Amino acid sequence: MASYELLRLLWWAVLGVLLIGVAVMDGFDLGAAMLLPIVGRSDMDRRVILNSVGPVWEGNQVWLILGAGAVFAAWPPLYAVAFSGFYLAMLLLLVALILRPVGFAFRSRVADARWRNVWDGGLVAGGLVASLVFGVAFGNALLGVPFRFDDTLRMTYEGDLFGLFRPFAILCGLISVVMIAMHGAVYLAVKTGGDIQRRARGVAVVTAIALAALFVLAGLWAAQLSGFVVAHAQDHSGPSNPLLKAVIREPGALMRNYGLEPWAILAPCLGVGGALTTAALSRFATPRPLAAFVASSAAVAGVIATAGVSLFPFLLPSSLAPDAGLTVWDASSSQTTLAIMTVATAVFLPLILAYTAWVYRVLRGPVTAATVAADHHAY
């Protein structure tokens, strides 16, 4: 069996891969839904948008469900603290996620303008709220959140919903929203044609430039923030008990890892570079800008990796009782569980990628008003 230290590091990376998977795969359908009123002017435009993601969004959302399941299985204390601590924010996210499947399935079943507008509203709100909550949650993780443990490791959270909306966290929320909108727009540019494609490309340029600017701004801001540092060498194979360490506050702690491991700077560079490339390709490239989608995915990966690298070894620091902050070395499952999950992931993730690729291949080709009108099952 691999060492506990290695397994923990591996599952930190898997967590990152899954979060990036959520943002890249589910992100484009959240973004497409968010852009319904901007890119889709007529009902047929909107049906084209919905049908461009319609056959695949359900599978994409499993990235999110698997992500949550993987946190539960590999990082149980993180699951407990984040989900119960952000109770009302999670509720908002849930409502957004509940509105999406029914929005897709129900919208086009009744040919009534008001009915369709209601579900469009639900889908737009679903996309916006989900992206915003994710971003704000990341912002709060970077800032640290007010929780502590008693000696039976029961967690108490001393904050509320409005306490999450701190200025820096709002900035992170905005980054998330423009990032997801960019990704949705780039996808629509690949998958549609005509006016929808033209409008989507316009949106992609604007949001990609906004993403680069806001992301750089957040980086400059984060450098001024005071972060958290474990005050001593932590046992990387010790028991998963977050109460066995001492943590100090330190200004500029979020930048510390870039000094220790200079190559980590690749993550933010990927974020900014990917966003700028997306803008350029969306503006100038030829009809089906698949390359822009790749660049946009790279930007998404870079932004999320930056957050993870900046926090390391923390997963979720505590602002209330810094010693109780959750780190990679003291908030995981047991070695056995991590090993079992590693085997299962190694077997099934490649299979998932293979059949997902096959499904996308079967569904390749642009979605247009004509294809939507011809398909009885279209949304």
Partner 1 sequence: MDVVELSRLQFGLTAMYHFLFVPLTLGLSVLLAIMEAVYVMTGRAIWREMVRFWGVLFGINFAMGVATGITMEFQFGTNWAYYAHYVGDIFGAPLAMEGLMAFFLEATFVGLFFFGWDRLSKVQHLVVTCLLALGTNLSALWILIANGWMQNPVGARFNVATMRMEVTDFGAVIFNPVAQAKFVHTISAGYVTGAVFVLAISAWYLLKGRHRELAIRSMTVAASFGLAGALSVVVLGDESGYTAGQNQKMKIAAIEAMWKTEPAPASLTLVGLPDQATHQTRYALRVPWVLGLIATRTIDQPVEGIDDLVRHARDRIRSGTVAYGAMERLRLRPEDAAASAAFAAHVDDLGYALLLKRYAPAVTAATPAQVEAAALDTVPSVAPLFWSFRVMAGLGFGFIALFTTAFVLASRRQLERWPLFLKVCLWSLPAPWIAAELGWYVAESGRQPWTIDGVLPTYLSVSSVPASDVWISLTLFVLLYSSLAVVELMLMVRAIREGPGQWGAGAPVSRPPVVAPAAAE
Residue 328, token pair as written in the block: 């990679």
Applying CB under 8 A, which of residues 4, 12, 28, 57 lies at the interface with partner 1? 57
Map the footprint of partner 1 across residues 217-256, applying CB under 8 A. 239-241
Task: Please count the CA atoms within 13 angstroms of the CA of 259 that sit on its side-chain side.
Answer: 6
The answer to whether residue 141 forms part of the interface with partner 1 (CB under 8 A) is no
Residues 113-132 that bind partner 1 (CB under 8 A): 113, 116
- Residue of 39, 65, 54, 56 lying closest to 104 (CA atoms): 54
Using CB under 8 A as the binding rule, the residues of this chain from 333 to 372 that contact partner 1 are 333-334, 336-337, 340-341, 344-345, 348-349, 352, 355-356, 359, 362-363, 372
152 interacts with partner 1 by CB under 8 A? yes
Answer yes or no: are the C-beta atoms of 21 and 301 closer than 8 Å: no
Instruction: Find the binder of partner 1 among 16, 55, 273, 366 (CB under 8 A).
Output: 55
State which residue, 156 or 224, has the beta carbon closest to partner 1: 156
Nearest distance in Å: CB 355, partner 1: 6
Q: Which two tokens stand for residue 239?
A: 């028991």
Determine the Cα angle at 256 with ends 254 and 259, to 5°.
Answer: 140
Binders of partner 1 in range 83-112 (CB under 8 A) = 83-84, 87-88, 90-91, 94-95, 97-102, 104-106, 108-112
CB 200 within 8 A of CB 39: yes
Q: Are 347 and 255 in contact (CB under 8 A)?
A: no
Q: Which amino acid is at 242?
A: P
Beta carbon nearer to partner 1, 95 or 276: 95
Task: Using CB under 8 A, pick the residue from 9, 10, 56, 280 that binds partner 1.
Answer: 56
φ, ψ for residue 158, nearest 5 deg: -110, 65
State the nearest-atom distance from the C-beta of 27 to partner 1, in Å: 16
Burial class (CB in 10 A: 0-12, 13-18, 19+), 336: exposed
Stretch touching partner 1 by CB under 8 A, among 26-34, 49-57, 205-213, 313-321: 49-57
To partner 1, the closest distance from the beta carbon of 301 in angstroms equals 20
183 binds partner 1 (CB under 8 A): no
Separation CA 135–CA 121 (nearest Å): 21
